[in-house]
Structure 1
Amino acid sequence: MRVPHIYEPAHLELGMEFDLGDDAAGHIGRVLRMQSGEQISLFNGEGGEYLCEILIAGKKQVRVKVLEFNEFECESPLAIHLGQVISRGDKMDFTIQKSVELGVSEITPLFSERCGVKLAADRLAKKHQQWQKIAIAAAEQCGRNRITTIHEPIALEQWLQQSTNATKLTLHPRAEHSIKTLAAPSSGVRFLVGPEGGFSDEEIVSSHNNGFIDIRLGPRVLRTETAALTVLSALQLEFGDLGN
C-alpha cells in the first residue's frame, strides 16, 4: 500500500513528536481514517520528505513521530512560470491542478481585456486561497516535495513588464517558431496563455514589445485549458524531465 504523502508546513527534524495541523490531521483522521502505528510521508516544501509514524489518530488530533528523512526530489530541471488568464467555471482549477502534476514552478492568474471572469476583492482573495490549496493537493497526489507558488492575480500588462531572464513564450497557431526551434532555456521559461476569447491586438503587440516570442504546437486552435497543459508537456519533453 502506498504511504500517504501529506503537506505539513512546519519545521521537521528527526525524532520530533508533534500534532499535525488542521488540514493534514483532517485528511489523515477523517478522510483516510488511519490508525496509530501506521506510517505517512510528510513534506514541508523545503525539499525532501519525512517518514513518520502515527502515535495518536483521532478526528481532531493526529500526533506523529518523525522516523527518517529522504532527500528524494522529483522536480523538473526546467523552471516554468505560467501566466494564465483566468478562465470561467472550474477550468482554472483544472489548469492549476494538472499544471502542478506536470511540474510547473509558478503560476500567476491574469486579467486581460477579454477575460470573462470579474470578481470583487473578497471573492478574489478566496479564489486565490482555493487555487493554492488545489496546488498543494496536486503536489501531494503526484509526489512532489515542493509547492507550486500561486501568485496573487494581477493585470496582464503588469506581468508582461516584470523583469526576468527567463525565455518568454506565447502560444500562437500561426507563429513562425516551434518549441523544437528554440535554444535550450538557460534561466527557465515564462509562457503566456490567453482567455477563451483570445488576446486583443494591443495585448499581442505589448507581449512582443516585452520580449515574448510566439510559438506554435500545430495548426489547430487550442482551448485555454488545453493550451497550458500542451505547452507544459512539450517543454518538459524538449528541455525538462520528460526528455531525460
Structure 2
Amino acid sequence: MPRFFYPLPLAIGEQVTLPDTVAHHCHVLRLNPGDTIVLFNGTGGSYVASLTSIDKKRAAAEVKTFDSSEVELPYAITLAQALPESSKMDWIIEKAIELGAAGIQPLAAQRCVMRLSGERAEKRRLHWQGVIESASEQCGRNRLAQLGEVSDFKQWIAQQDMHKRLFLSPRAEHSLADWVKHHPAQALTIMIGPEGGFSEQEEQLALQHGAIPLSMGSRVLRTETAGLAALASITALWGG
C-alpha cells in the first residue's frame, strides 16, 4: 500500500484532509475513493486509511486501523555530517535514513565549501526535513529521525551532554570494525568530515572532548561514502 507522512495527530475513525503534496501523489498514482493507503505521523506506528474523496488538488481519507509495528534500530545512531559540496547532503541524508540513522547533525567545519547561515540555513534545513520524510515513507520507518540545526564544529564538539562520539580518520590507529566488535550495542554519534576531512585542529579538539578516532581501513572514502559505510558496518555487526 502507498505510504505517506501526515504531520498531525491521527486517530481511528477520524476523517482527515490530506496535505496537498499527498493528494497530488495519490492523483499521480491514479488512486480512487475506497483505495487503501498507509499514514504515519513520525511518532511511532502507522495507520491504515481509506480514501473517501480525491481530485487533482485535494484528497480526504478515513482512518481505519492502527499498526504498532516498528523497524527502528535497537540503538540510536546519529550521523554528524560536515556539510559537503552541492546537493550531496540530500543523498547522504536519504541513504542514512534508509540505513536506520536516528539523527542527522549538519556541521560547519573548517574545510567545508558550502557555507550556510541565517535564512539560507533555515531554508536548507526545511528542505532536508522533507528529504527525511520522503525517505521514511519509502523505507517503511514510522519514526522520523531528528534533524539538528547547522552547528559550528567547535561549538558542537564542546557540548558535554552527548553520548559516545566516534570520528573517522585515515590517521586513526584502530578500525571501526574492531571497536564495534569489542563494545556492546549502544547509542553513538558518527562524525564525518567534509571533502578533505576534518582539519588537524578539529581532530585535536575532538580528542580533547573525548571523541574516539577510528579508521575505515586502508582506502580513503569520500565524505558521501564514509558515514553510510560506517552505518552499514555497525548494523551488520550489532544487528538490526
* TM-score (normalizing by structure 2): 0.94
| 1:208-241 deviation per Cα after TM superposition (whole angstroms, max 9, x unaligned) | 0111111112101110000010011011112241
1:81 corresponds in structure 2 to 78
C-alpha deviation, 1:27, in angstroms? 2.1
**Is contact 2:164–2:187 with CA below 8 Å preserved after alignment?**
yes
Instruction: Look up the equivalent residue of 2:120 and give its one-letter code.
Output: R
**Is contact 1:45–1:147 with CA below 8 Å preserved after alignment?**
yes
| 1:72-127 deviation per Cα after TM superposition (whole angstroms, max 9, x unaligned) | 10000120111100111111111001000000001111101111012352222111
2:38 matched to 1:41? yes
C-alpha deviation, 1:190, in angstroms? 0.7
2:124 matched to 1:127? yes
Instruction: Look up the equivalent residue of 1:209 and give its one-letter code.
Output: Q
2:52 matched to 1:55? yes
Which secondary structure state, in structure 2, belongs to the residue aligned with residue 46 of structure 1? Answer: coil
C-alpha deviation, 1:9, in angstroms? 1.2
**Is contact 1:165–1:187 with CA below 8 Å preserved after alignment?**
no
Instruction: Look up the equivalent residue of 1:154 and give its one-letter code.
Output: S
2:104 corresponds in structure 1 to 107
Out of 1, 4, 16, the residue aligned to residue 2 of structure 2 is: 4
Which secondary structure state, in structure 2, belongs to the residue aligned with residue 234 of structure 1? Answer: helix
Spell out the pairing of 1:71-220 with structure 2 (5 A cutoff).
71-182=68-179, 183-185=182-184, 187-220=186-219
Partners in 1 of 2:237 and 2:45 — Cα distance?
A: 26
CA separation of 1:6 and 1:20: change in aligned 2, threshold 3 A: same
Which secondary structure state, in structure 2, belongs to the residue aligned with residue 199 of structure 1? Answer: coil
Which 4+ runs in 1 deviate beyond 6 A? none
Which secondary structure state, in structure 2, belongs to the residue aligned with residue 6 of structure 1? Answer: strand
Partners in 2 of 1:59 and 1:104 — Cα distance?
A: 35
Partners in 1 of 2:160 and 2:98 — Cα distance?
A: 27
Which secondary structure state, in structure 1, belongs to the residue aligned with residue 22 of structure 2? Answer: helix
Partners in 1 of 2:162 and 2:146 — Cα distance?
A: 18
Pick which of 163-172 and 39-48 moved more.
163-172
C-alpha deviation, 1:13, in angstroms? 1.1
1:21 corresponds in structure 2 to 19
RMSD: 1.4
Partners in 2 of 1:67 and 1:228 — Cα distance?
A: 39
> What is the identity percentage for the equivalent residue pairs of Structure 1 and Structure 2?
39
2:63 corresponds in structure 1 to 66
Partners in 2 of 1:233 and 1:186 — Cα distance?
A: 14
**Is contact 1:166–1:186 with CA below 8 Å preserved after alignment?**
no
Aligned residues: 238
Which secondary structure state, in structure 1, belongs to the residue aligned with residue 89 of structure 2? Answer: helix
Partners in 2 of 1:161 and 1:186 — Cα distance?
A: 24
**Is contact 1:109–1:152 with CA below 8 Å preserved after alignment?**
yes
CA separation of 1:227 and 1:4: change in aligned 2, threshold 3 A: same
